[in-house]
Amino acid sequence: MASRLEFYPVRHQKRVLNRIRFPVPPGDGPETFGLIYQASAGKSLPAKGLPSIMRPSSFVFRLVAALAVLFCLHYLAEMICLSSRFALVADCRLGADDHLVLYWRFANHFSEKASMTKAVTGGERQQVKIHPKDQSIRQFRLDLGEKAQTIELYQLTIISHFGKQRIWQPEEIARAFIPNADVSTMAVKGDHLRIITKGGDPYLISPKLPPYENIGISWLLPLTFAALTFVYLPDMAETLRRLPVFADLRDKGNPDNIAALDGVRGLAALAVLAQHTGVLPGIGSFGVYLFFALSGFLLARPFCRQPERAADSAYMRRYILRRLKRILPMYYLFITVTVLLHGNYGAALRHYLFLQGDGHLWTLPQEMFFYAILPLVVLGMLALKDLPKIFTLFFLLALIMVAASHWGTHIVNFYGYGTSLPSRVGIFLAGMFFACCYDGIPWKEERRMPGNIGAALALALLIALVVLSAKLIPVIKTINFLTWPASYGFLCGLLIFLAALSSGSMADRLLANPLLRWIGIVGFSFYLVHPLMLDMVKGMALVWPVPLTSCSKFFLTGIATLVVSSFTYSFVERPFIHQKR
């Protein structure tokens, strides 16, 4: 075969390198793995003689990942499928009308949340079926009513969709089940087990139940996914790397974007999560106020740089359209799934129109109100554009004070948490004020606050706000700083301003780290879906191998929320955000 010369440019780290590929003649090695001459470096790179799958480092990495998938899926299969029980059937006769209660657990203690009750008529033998709804059960407890009586128990049967039913005869019940002190006697009499109770809370605790044996679910299915992981891991990694959320994480495409502010949004989302998981009670309002102030800061920046945009009708139409495309798709999807599909049509309509905000959704009507008043505020800023910038700042400060002292529920009120809520527009205006401080004043680089000073002030203020919100100091626990939302929101705006000024500092690197920026970029989806993920984590509490504490709820919910919100951001939010028309 004749040799051929291929010359092509390769872009690498923002510069073009000229590379020349020389095919290797047949018999000297695989043609596609010849020598490559890198012209800019003037050196030859060794030929790669093995496919990537057979290189030792790649092989070990794939093998470790495949084994991790195998054992994780094996555990999940046994935990979720092969330990699930559809129903418990008690063949019994009670001496009086009473009820049986079934409690179950997988890893934690018995609790009322994991229980089902069944009323039983006394005096007749009957099959009492209690449905635990396919819950994962490692052990159960059968409560035998509250009255002092004699109970005849003929048989216990537990049924599952993933294995054969398990039957306990009277002799085995007497031998394997553990009664408590409210069971006076328990003896086999003919074809039944006679149990005499003395009232109170008599119950029997079952032995631990092993998972059902099902090799297809337990091993073959995990092995299939492990093999797919081994073969396609690089392709999966490349696919994930190309997700829009990671493209935005690498480069948001806006030269005016301040990476640290993505981290501030991520910090706000984590603060709300810390509140709802019980890690730092009280800190959730700090996170919400950060969201509000950050909205004001980011939305006001274009008008602070160019106030005349407020009079440009085409620009203002684009502003309104961008705000609607930013909020409505994901918000409407969430309301449809969580409210409308549950049959709450009136509540769904009120949520669609931003007239109601149940639970954490109380912030959305507030945000839409902020978006509506911003054009009016920036028109006022436009009227003052020919005056020194200090007049614009005084104008915004006056609006903040008016909003804090005179803008109560008698003027504008929002429905949330079952009551009327006042507007928090003062916090949004505080963000606008600091945006004008940052962009509206013609600072020169040499006059900017040194990064280390801004960083120190930003970190000190951040720590102070966290301590005040969570009441971490005993002497201030009786003081509720959140009763002064405008003042507190003003401090949140100051924190954002200092973070924006701290370019290149330690605080900037801390806030602009990839994890916080990742959470910040998907922050809206993260905020919306985190209660659903928290409920999912709580629902699976029975099958976790570790106790479900506040910290474990925070981390498990955070991971689940980040995964889900990355996909909703990539495929629900971002297509509308970057839609040109």
Residue 419: its H or E element: strand 419-422
**CA nearest 49: which of 69, 64, 67, 35?**
35
Q: In sequence order, what are the residues at sequence separation of 6 or more whose Cβ sits closer than 8 angstroms to the Cβ of residue 412?
A: 369, 422, 423, 425
Q: 315 φ, ψ to 5°? A: -65, -40
d(CA 61, CA 231): 11
- Provide DSSP, 485-548: HHHHHHHHHHHHHHHHH-TTSHHHHHHTSHHHHHHHHTHHHHHHHHHHHHHHHHHTGGG-SS--
d(CA 404, CA 426): 6
Angle at 542 between CA 515 and CA 175, to 5 degrees: 155
| Residues 233, 234, 239, 240, CA torsion sign | positive
Note whether 205 and 177 are within 8 A (CB): yes
Q: Which two tokens stand for residue 478?
A: 């009786």
Q: How many CB atoms lie within 10 A of CB 232?
A: 13
| Packing angle of the helix pair 523-539, 313-338 (nearest 10 deg) | 10
Q: Which residue has the tokens 């039983």?
A: 120
Q: How many CB atoms lie within 10 A of CB 405?
A: 10
Note whether 106 and 137 are within 8 A (CB): yes
pLDDT in tens, the chain (581 residues): 444 444 444 444 444 444 444 444 444 444 443 333 344 444 444 444 444 555 566 788 889 999 999 999 998 898 888 999 999 999 999 999 999 999 998 877 888 888 999 999 999 999 999 998 788 898 999 999 999 999 999 999 999 988 899 999 999 999 999 999 999 999 999 999 999 999 889 999 999 999 998 899 999 999 999 999 998 887 777 777 888 888 888 876 566 788 899 999 999 999 999 999 999 988 998 999 999 999 999 999 999 989 999 999 999 999 999 999 999 999 999 999 999 998 899 999 999 999 999 999 999 999 999 999 999 999 999 999 889 889 999 999 999 998 887 766 567 778 777 778 888 899 999 999 999 998 866 554 444 455 577 788 888 999 989 888 888 777 666 666 666 788 888 999 999 999 988 877 888 888 999 999 999 999 999 999 999 999 888 877 656 666 788 998 999 999 999 999 999 999 999 999 877 65
Q: Which two tokens stand for residue 81?
A: 């499928």
d(CA 344, CA 361): 16
Whole-structure pTM value:
0.76
DSSP lists the bridge partners of residue 196 as 150, 185
Question: Which runs of consecutive H residues, i.e. helices, occur in 20-113?
Answer: 56-76
- Terminal Cα distance for the chain, rounded: 54
Residue 370: its H or E element: helix 363-383
Note whether 89 and 157 are within 8 A (CB): yes
Query: How buried is residue 325: exposed, middle or buried, by Cβ count under 10 Å (0-12/13-18/19+)?
Result: middle
CA 408, distance to chain mean position in Å, is 33
> Amino acid identity of 463?
I
Q: 412 φ, ψ to 5°? A: -135, 125
Q: Which residue has the tokens 């916090």?
A: 427
Residue 312: its H or E element: none
Note whether 570 and 132 are within 8 A (CB): no
CATH 2.60.60 location in the chain? 83-205
Look at domain 83-205 and name its CATH class.
mainly beta
**CA nearest 90: which of 80, 103, 100, 82?**
100
Q: Which two tokens stand for residue 172?
A: 């085995």
Q: Which two tokens stand for residue 232?
A: 């396609």
Note whether 327 and 372 are within 8 A (CB): no
**CA nearest 373: which of 296, 488, 302?**
296
Note whether 265 and 291 are within 8 A (CB): yes
Q: In sequence order, what are the residues at sequence separation of 6 or more whose Cβ sits closer than 8 angstroms to the Cβ of residue 193?
A: 152, 153, 154, 170, 173, 174, 186, 187
